[in-house]
Amino acid sequence: MRRFTDQRDSRSDDQLWLLEHPPVFTLGQAGRLEHVRSPGDIPVLQTDRGGQVTYHGPGQLVAYLLLDLRRAGIGVKRLVHLLEESVITLLAEQGIDASTRLGAPGVYVNSAKIASIGLRVRRGCCYHGIALNVDLDLEPFQRINPCGYPGLQVTRLIDLLPHLMPDLEREKIAVQLARMVADRLGLQFAQSQQQV
């Protein structure tokens, strides 16, 4: 992501990468190790995104947005709002009432966090993005203070929609999220798949 951002020019296409990570705790630029209480066998990586500490793992949909903010004509606060709005709309289509919190970026359902946001801006372009908990194991969140908040509850889509069949629907959810983000940013959605 960083290499792409550093090498891009005014003609480079904006991209949205959708993926899942192996188990990992990541510390953002504001991250403090005191919020990683007992990582156990899960690696802890320092990243250049904004924010504190979070967990990524199988069953979590991560959407990395590589966007020229100047060309799109939007600022970081507006982008965060558009990403949150995309997840809220996706959840609303499933009958789930979600919201944001003032001063605590992300998306929440009944005060439990279901999606986290962390961005980085370089040369007027952003990278990193948003992580939506679909059916990942939530136990690792007990080993940290999620987003730097002791006791913050975390939830996942499978707990809110017990009939969800994640293995069959994860790709559908990913495409829906990508379309919603693209629509809100006024971008054309073109789907391509690559295994890394």
State residue 101's pLDDT score.
Answer: 94
Query: At 168, phi and psi to the nearest 5?
Result: -85, -30
- 72 near 125, Cβ under 8 Å? no
Confidence of residue 12 (pLDDT cuts 50, 70, 90): confident
Residue 196: pLDDT over 70:
no
Query: How far, in whole angstroms, is CA 87 from its chain's centroid?
Result: 10
CATH architecture assigned to 2-185: 2-Layer Sandwich (3.30)
Catalytic residues: 147
Q: Distance between terminal CA atoms of the chain?
A: 13
Residue type, 45: L
- 147-176 pLDDT, tens digit per residue, is 999 999 999 999 999 887 877 788 889 889
| Amino acid (one-letter) located at 99 | S
Q: Where are the beta strands (DSSP E) in the chain?
A: 15-19, 24-27, 44-46, 53-56, 60-68, 99-101, 104-109, 112-122, 125-133
Q: What is the pLDDT of residue 34?
A: 92
Question: Of 50, 45, 25, nearest to 127 (Cα)?
Answer: 50
Q: Which residues of 139-169 are buried (b: 16+ CB within 10 A; e: fewer)?
A: ebbebbbbbbeeebebbbbbebbeebebeeb
Q: What angle do CA 79, 184, 147 make, to 5 degrees?
A: 35
* pLDDT surpassing 90 at residue 67: yes
Residue 194 has pLDDT above 60, yes or no: no
HEC secondary structure over 179-192: HHHHHHHCCCCCCC
pLDDT digits (tens, 9 = 90+) for 31-42: 888 999 999 999
80-136 residue pLDDT tens: 999 999 999 999 999 999 999 998 999 999 999 999 999 999 989 999 999 999 999
Q: Where are the domains of the chain?
A: 2-185
Q: Are 172 and 86 in contact (CB under 8 A)?
A: no
